[in-house]
Amino acid sequence: MITLYGIKTCDSCRKARRALDTQGTAYRYHDLREDGLDAERLDAFLARSDWKTLLNTRSTTWRGLDEADKRDLDAASARALLLAHPTLLKRPVLETPDRLLVGFQAEAYRAL
């Protein structure tokens, strides 16, 4: 099963949903604001992608964090931030049985 993780107000997530809908790809949508992000799912993402790729340092959530939270980041502190603030996850995240795509790339979506 393909799952798309994102938030409703994200333009990249809208593009991803539109691309999947247009090509008739079945998927489940997981809203990070409404449905959250549990430790098990985050650990699965971290096993398939680097934390630096998954952490969105350009988001409104990131800009709202205390400077102390942003300093001296490593894998463990990034994981803790992502669990506390699921909208820090770079979006969209498309999870298939054999791939994890972070961010929207039209070519990669067409290849599904």
First-residue to last-residue Cα distance in the chain: 12
The residue annotated as part of the active site, out of 4, 7, 10, 19, is: 10
Q: Is 11 helix (H, G, I), strand (E, B) or coil?
A: helix
Helices of type H across the chain: 11-22, 32-35, 39-48, 51-54, 60-64, 67-70, 75-84, 106-110
Torsion of CA 77, 78, 83, 86, to 10 degrees: 150
Q: Is 13 a catalytic residue?
A: no
Instruction: Enumerate the active-site residues.
Output: 10
